[in-house]
Amino acid sequence: MTLPSGQRGGPGMGPWRFVVAFGTVSLLADIVYEGARSITGPLLASLGASATVIGVVTGAGEAAALGLRLVSGPLTDRTQRFWAWAIAGYALAVASVPLLGLAGALWVACALVVAERVGKAVRSPAKDTLLSYATAATGRGRGFAVHEAMDQIGALIGPLTVAGVLALTGNDYAPALGVLALPGVAVLAVLVWLRRRVRDPAAYERGSAPASQQDTTGHVPGRLPRDFWVYACFTAATTAGFTTFGVLSFHLVERGMLSASLVPVLYAGAMAVDAVAALATGWAYDRVGPRVLVALPLLTAVVPALAFTNTLAIAVIGSLVWGAALGIQESTLRATVADLVAAERRATAYGVFAGVVGAASLVGGAMTGALYTYSIPVLITVVAAVQVAALALLAVTRVRRT
């Protein structure tokens, strides 16, 4: 079927331009929710939360952001309304953040933290699928990596903006989060414009590879391939030992090593490292394949050993290593899913993949928060053991790229 010009990627909107335009959406959105995420730990602590509560809430938020995609992914595939799901999810997320600054009770703040993550669950399968179409033409690793790097420009600007407002207002969270409403409005405006320009992004993939992914993977139509499930288990294992930044920042503030107003600055630094790690591993993925993923469990194991010390310089290095691991999670892991699953089941695959990882995120957030309270040496040992198990799973994973 030949599509009208208004429904194709071009003219005037090639696959790289689409990746960059969608990256702009993510850049603006990251200013909003990464700005809020950078101070979640101190904000909840100011309302009376303990390290365990912060670990559970931030872990539950990530679990919601990932686990609810078990529903949104299949629904996105079923309805094929990728743009509608993306816009609705972004709208929920950018509306939740300014309200978080006005929360006067711990339970309200906790609910808004989770609500913002629910918005991510609503939009992510659709967003990742839309991107996967364009990256079929640009290269999976490079396309997802450039998008993630643009993400992290926003993740750099957002925390620095919040830090500046906190410094000017004497650590008043309301204006620091309220100012993020402006880029939130811009997110929705750019999304609506992009949807009008590119109504059928699937055209990018239809015109790129001569052989379909279903033929090369050899899976049964309508089912997710076995390789996908093995890969999801590896990712879940490494995620189960991943410490949340909420617990990292709690440690820094409660031990008196860093003021609350400087925590977003550290988070911004971690996001800069995230972007570099995403670009490096994305480039390597297109050249050598999923072998680059061995770096993820190794970095994850190092984080608590560095970040939970009482020496500021070492703790800062640990937080930056955390950023590098996050960059791999947010780019190369997603690129591999697109190479494993055919287009007609890809939103479902992203939903299922995120659901598996979401359960691991809840375990990881609660485990690291509780073990931090109990014993930091025990926490370090447990995380290292979990990452050894993840490496074993990676060793038996067979990813066949298309």
- For the chain, the domain total comes to 1
- Tokens for 388, please give them: 């050894």
Q: Which of 1-10, 66-75, 170-179 has the lowest mean pLDDT?
A: 1-10
- Reported as a pLDDT band with limits 50, 70 and 90, residue 29 is very high
Alpha-carbon dihedral of residues 192, 195, 197, 202, nearest 10 degrees?
170
Scored b (16 or more CB within 10 A) or e, 67-81 reads: bbbbebbbbbbeeee
Quick check: 59 and 369 in contact, CB under 8 A?
yes
Q: How many CB atoms lie within 10 A of CB 11?
A: 7
**Which residues span the domain enclosing 191?**
12-207+216-395
Higher per-residue confidence, 100 vs 397: 100
Report d(CA 178, CA 168) in Å as an integer: 14
Does residue 162 belong to any structural domain of this protein? yes
- Reported as a pLDDT band with limits 50, 70 and 90, residue 400 is low
Question: Cis bond leading into 11, ω under 30°?
Answer: yes
Tens digits of per-residue pLDDT, 353-382?
878 877 787 787 778 778 888 888 898 898
Among 31-45, 132-146, 173-187, 236-250, the range of highest mean pLDDT: 173-187
Which amino acid does the sequence have at 283? W
Question: CATH number, domain at 280?
Answer: 1.20.1250.20
Does residue 43 belong to any structural domain of this protein? yes
pLDDT of 219 higher than 50: no
Does residue 7 belong to any structural domain of this protein? no
**pLDDT for position 399:** 58
Percent of the chain whose predicted confidence (pLDDT) is above 90: 11
Does residue 84 belong to any structural domain of this protein? yes
**pLDDT for position 5:** 37
Across the range 178-206, mean pLDDT stands at 88
- Reported as a pLDDT band with limits 50, 70 and 90, residue 212 is very low
Compute φ and ψ for 221, nearest 5 degrees: -55, 135
**pLDDT for position 136:** 82
Chain length of the chain: 402
Across the range 56-62, mean pLDDT stands at 80
- Tokens for 186, please give them: 């811009």
**pLDDT for position 188:** 93
Helix axes 82-100, 69-79, angle to 10 degrees: 150
Across the range 171-183, mean pLDDT stands at 89
Report d(CA 35, CA 159) in Å as an integer: 4
CA–CA–CA angle 59, 364, 166 (5° rounding): 45
Does residue 4 belong to any structural domain of this protein? no
pLDDT of 217 higher than 60: no
**pLDDT for position 321:** 92
Residue with tokens 């299949």: 74
Which positions ≥6 away from 209 have C-beta within 8 Å?
Answer: 136, 402
